[in-house]
Amino acid sequence: MNSTPQDKKSSVKINFQYEDTNIYITEKLLSKWVKKSINTSLLYSSYICNKIRLNIRMVNEKEIKELNRNFRKKNNSTNVITFEYGIENGYLMGDIIICLPVVEKEAIQQKKNFLDHAAHITIHGVLHALGFDHSNNEDAVKMEALEIEILNKFNIRNPYL
């Protein structure tokens, strides 16, 4: 029997870690963003494993800058870094590192609601963990459209306007 998008269900295991940051988002809210990202992306991609284990780690600027320097060869802090490890024991594995102080600064600079921007950054990181990318224009257009669709489900406006 062929599976239709409605038949696809995901099994998601999320581990949350908060390291030395004064800004917090509840695990319940983060889980909503993560699960909606995964379930929506399953509608568009047949290659994504529907069993997923993610670690989501909230860090300070010092830690994200160090990770960015060590793994991306960029000597600055950033809002999110995603590590996608492929499939192990039937699960797609990934780490999503989010720097909420950077997200907060960006929200202020861009005149965005903090939680709306945090949702966007979280969704962006999850999509990277699922294999989506924006390394070329065609992939960027697809990934941004998917981000906008997911954000719309939370009544969050298009962040690219």
Asked, for residue 44, whether it belongs to a domain, the answer is yes
In sign, the C-alpha dihedral spanning 77, 72, 31, 156 is positive
**Per-residue pLDDT, 24:** 84
Asked, for residue 3, whether it belongs to a domain, the answer is no
Global pTM value: 0.90
**CATH code assigned at 79:** 3.40.390.30
Report mean pLDDT in 10-residue bins for the chain, 161 residues: 44 89 88 93 70 94 96 96 91 95 97 97 96 92 96 97 89
Residue 16 structural domain: 12-153
Asked, for residue 69, whether it belongs to a domain, the answer is yes
> How far apart are alpha carbons 6 and 83 in whole angstroms?
28
Asked, for residue 2, whether it belongs to a domain, the answer is no
**Per-residue pLDDT, 30:** 96
Q: Report whether 117 belongs to an annotated binding site.
A: no
Asked, for residue 40, whether it belongs to a domain, the answer is yes
Asked, for residue 128, whether it belongs to a domain, the answer is yes
- 78 in Cβ contact with 64 (< 8 Å): yes
Q: Report whether 124 belongs to an annotated binding site.
A: yes
Asked, for residue 159, whether it belongs to a domain, the answer is no
Asked, for residue 54, whether it belongs to a domain, the answer is yes
**Per-residue pLDDT, 44:** 72
Q: What is the DSSP letter of 25?
A: -
> Domain count of the chain?
1
CA nearest to 119, candidates 37, 48, 40: 37
Locus of tokens 């609601």: 113
**Per-residue pLDDT, 7:** 43
